[in-house]
Structure 1
Amino acid sequence: MRIVDLSRELYHRTPSYPGHPPIIHGMWKNHAEALADSRNVYGLASMFISMPDHGGTHIDAPRHFGPSGIPINEYPLEKCIVPGICLDLRHIAPRAEITPSDLAAAVKAAGRPIPNGGTVLLCTGHHARTFPRKEYATDNSGVNVAATEWLAKQGIVHFGIDSMRPGPDSDENLLVHKACLDLDITHIESLCNLEALLGQGQFTFIGLPMKWRDGTASPIRAVAVFGLQQS
């Protein structure tokens, strides 16, 4: 079994989506302070974290798209462990829209069909090109509404991308979110290391969310697992 980590590292003030709260991570009590308080032989250090539910690598809950969508604590866990493939879209220009024909060509080049009931990860190269520079927050390519509809017709439960948003930085991105609600799919944002999946065939994608009550999203530890048999 081989595991490929697809998750961004979380650290103090790691890049967050524009307009969202920052990720704050700091020391609550170091070993010396804990030792002075508890007289434990070593002292038990601890840290604290404050972050938006859309921080880092995360999955959007349908509730994010509209009030009729389910929150993250009700999202089916069966959809969080699914077969997947990764498509190479690194040739798409920054800020450009990814179209259905782009996706169809990428599937053909991959030589593997999109698994029904699974996921498809879109390697645009955006994270590798721009993170953590300011362009990471603005210059991504992304699917348009027609491409989102095309993906849904393949029978996926969600798709993922290596940028902060599924669509380009325009009104099209908002329409893609609405389309996900209408199509009963969702998406995963801020993936990384997707280049390691290209040409590797099908894998098992695992990305379990935290159980935030009424949450609109949740950070996940996203991984691709090769050699794991699914029933």
Structure 2
Amino acid sequence: MTDVRRAAERYPGGDAAAGIASRHAFSFGPHYDPGNLRFGAMIACNEERLAPGAGFDEHPHSHTEIVTWVVEGELTHRDSTGRETRVRAGDVQRLSAAGGVRHVERNDAGTPLVFVQTWLAPRVPGGDPAYEIVRGIADATPYAVPEAGAMLHVRRLAAGERTAVPDGAFRYVHVVRGEVRLGEEVLGPGDAARLTGAADLEAVAVGAAELLVWEMA
């Protein structure tokens, strides 16, 4: 089954006065939808836009694998383990909240920041927080999140280029930029497809495109 969710269907959030615009793919905060709580291990896929100087003040997380993909700009990350990093376009950042961690996410640069953040439910709750960043991940290099039984595939496609969608119990295809054809559907920026059961699927770039493809057990 292919369940397409358009960018315009995302739940709006954030704080416009504070320079934060959020778009949520799943039930989130005050936007409670009991029929849209999760897909496989995925419990959130948020598109965030932060104006220069804007950000999320220190807040807690627990029992969540948080994977961040910067589309443009630079994200400053600080957490309660004493770590501070700058995450740039092309980097994959993962924060394993485990038994509990607090962090800050800000745009300390002078240009707008856009990022996609995915939250995954771990197979086993608890444990100690962990952090990882992969700088400039290469196209088609899979990034594993074994704690959640998930794998991320980043694909950057030229016009007309094809990429296989991995088989799996749950697949989630998010279009970062450009347009792709997936079966009979054309997906644009911010659109996503939730796939179950189907096999031997390909995504074909209509023009230059960038995709995040999640494969989940």
Q: TM-score, normalised by structure 1?
A: 0.22
RCO higher in structure (CA 8 A, sep ≥6): 1
Bigger strand fraction:
2
Q: TM-score, normalised by structure 2?
A: 0.23
Pick the structure with greater CA Rg: 1
Bigger helix fraction:
1
